Structure 1
Amino acid sequence: MPVDVLVVEDHADLREEIVSFLQRRQMTVRTAGSAREMDLALADRPPDIVVLDLGLPGEDGVSIAGRLSNADPRPGLVIVTARGRVEDRILGLHSGADMYLVKPIDLRELEAAVLSVMRRRGHPPAVPAPAWHLDAEQWRLVTPGGTIVLLSEAEVRFLSPFFETPGATIDRRMLAERIQGDARGIDLLVHRLRRRVEADAGEALPLRTVHARGFAFTAPTVL
């Protein structure tokens, strides 16, 4: 089963960024922006892990951490906060945190913390294969390492079928219709996209040419 994570963070942009990243890592993620919203989410379904900001409105995060440490069942607790003093770390750990991370954080570190806490609790999660994520609304491709590659509208239209039907070989003619171009236009788009992904992310775009048919995306994908 996927790791069930509840993100308790009042900063909307950061909350969205964390959710998007953990979902790409194939975790089940819910959110709360306050202690009250957290309590409602806990009543609905106890999570495996709570990712908790300390500076919440209404109730201090240290108090919340203390409540979570006495909950039944007790979730794993990863504190993510701007409070970086040694005294704050000690207080957070004594309040029941399994991990204490100081902002700004690398989201890969957060993922590692969540998986580490799961292992400590005797529930080692299956680590999913790193996936590529297409954010069609924002016109961007996110690599398994978390690097964002900005796309043109034509590139989004070209890549969408590979993410809508993972593992499929997409016909060249259909792709040409998608970008309202021809075979030469497809080849130019693929060439430029491969170069940009490699330059921006240091990773090769896993797009394979299938002779006489079209193209296939050869790595795990998620929309």
Structure 2
Amino acid sequence: MHILLVEDDTSLAAALCKALRQKNYAVNTVATGREALHVIRTEKPDMTILDLGLPDMDGIEVLKKARHSQPEIQILILTARSGTEEKITGLDSGADDYLAKPFEVDELLARLRVLERRLGSAKTSLVAVGDVVLDTTTNMVSMSGQNVELSRREYSLLRSLMENVGRVQTRSVLENRLYSWGEEVSSNALEVHIHNLRKKLGSDFIKTVRGVGYRVNQL
């Protein structure tokens, strides 16, 4: 899951990136509205966490332009503007949720899980395909009732495929959800993760769509 964090407070941004990456999110961060809009238009993150108090333009303007550019993107506002009027303005301008500063990271994570369930085909915290069940709340995977041990990136890759069951996920989309900016990625890293998942879940669970990407079919 690819998140864009738009936050000009560098210490807060660093702390949030660390917390989100520990929960298997790929997170990229920018500090201005113009940078945010460029990334949203060109890289299409799954979700955006947007601070309204940006140095170069008002966050509400960024929100409106982001919503116009990518109508399907999930946007959560983070802001010190905690009044009811500001909340209504944000939601009316296209935000999917609103979290006032200061806040607990656990609450942010819970709200992100709600937004995630609006993406792809997942409607609850449990995503099941055949005998494989993925729990987005606990980050656990089981097969035929037995827990399956996965690495952080194996889990993220499997989640992206299972939440979009029946849909082909391209290589670039999957890599964007697995890796943040600046991370070194070997040319065969994705194939290695796919290979490991097939060893653990069965060779036929993940299908290769030659020249396009990968897909999990509903069994």
Q: Identify the TM-score tier after normalising by the shorter chain.
A: 0.5 to 0.7
Tell me if structure 1 keeps the 8 A contact 2:46–2:74: yes
How far residue 127 of structure 1 moved from its aligned partner, in angstroms, is: 1.8
Which amino acid is 1:37 matched to? E
- Per mean C-alpha deviation after superposition, the further-off stretch among 33-42 and 96-105 is 33-42
2:136 maps to what in 1? 127
Tell me which of 75, 78, 89 is aligned to 2:76: 78
| Aligned counterpart, 1:23 | 21
Asked if the contact 2:33–2:57 (Cα under 8 Å) also holds between the matched residues in 1, the reply is: yes
Kindly tell me: are residues 70 and 51 of structure 1, through their superposed partners in 2, closer, same or farther at Cα, counting changes over 3 Å?
Answer: same
The CA distance in 2 between the partners of 1:119 and 1:75, in whole Å, is 13
Q: CA deviation at 1:43?
A: 3.7
CA contact (8 A) 1:10 1:33 kept: yes
Q: Deviation string for 1:15-69 (max 9, x for gaps)? A: 0111000000000100010012212322441001000000001110011111122
- Amino acid in structure 2 at the alignment position of 1:93: L
Aligned AA (1:30)? N
Distance 1:43 1:68, change over 3 A: closer
Write the letter of the residue equivalent to 2:80.
A
Kindly report which structure 2 residues correspond to 1:35-46, keeping only aligned pairs within 5 A, or say none.
35-46=33-44
Pair 84,42 (structure 1): closer, same or farther in 2 beyond 3 Å: same
Larger CA Rg, structure 1 vs 2:
1
Calculate percent identity across the aligned residue pairs. 33
SS at 2:117 equivalent:
helix
Q: Which runs of 4+ in 1 moved over 4 A?
A: 128-131
In structure 2, relative to structure 1, the CA distance for the partners of 1:123 and 1:106 (3 Å cut) is farther
> Does the Cα contact within 8 Å between 1:77 and 1:98 map onto a contact in 2?
yes
Q: Distance in 2 between matches of 1:100 and 1:84?
A: 9
**1:46/1:73 contact within 8 Å kept:** no
CA distance in 2, matches of 1:82, 1:116: 22
Offset of 1:122 from its aligned partner? 4.5
Once residues 138 and 115 of structure 2 are traced to their aligned partners in structure 1, the CA distance between those partners, rounded to angstroms, is 20
Aligned residue-pair number: 130
SS for the counterpart of 1:47 is coil
Q: TM-score, normalised by structure 1?
A: 0.54
3-state SS of 1:70 partner = helix
For structure 1, the 5+ residue unaligned runs are 132-223
| Unaligned segments of structure 2, at least 5 residues | 126-134, 141-219
Match of 1:120, SS? coil
Q: Who is 1:96 aligned against?
A: 94
| Distance (Å, rounded) in 2 between the aligned partners of 1:49 and 1:21 | 16
Q: For residues 100-132 of structure 1, what are the alpha-carbon distances to aligned partners after superposition, in whole Å with 9 as ceiling and x for unaligned?
A: 00000111111111110121344537527469x
The equivalent of 2:108 in structure 1 is: 110
Aligned partner of 1:9 in structure 2 is 7
Q: Distance in 1 between matches of 2:98 and 2:121?
A: 20
CA distance in structure 2 between the aligned counterparts of 1:83 and 1:123, rounded to whole angstroms: 33
Match of 1:156 in 2: none
RMSD of the TM alignment (CA)?
A: 2.2
What's the CA shift string for 1:80-110, capped at 9, x where partnerless? 1000010000001001111100000111111
> CA 1:105–1:57 in structure 2 vs 1: closer, same or farther (change >3 Å)?
same
In structure 2, how many angstroms separate the alpha carbons of the residues matched to 1:101 and 1:39? Answer: 21
Corresponding residue of 1:134: none
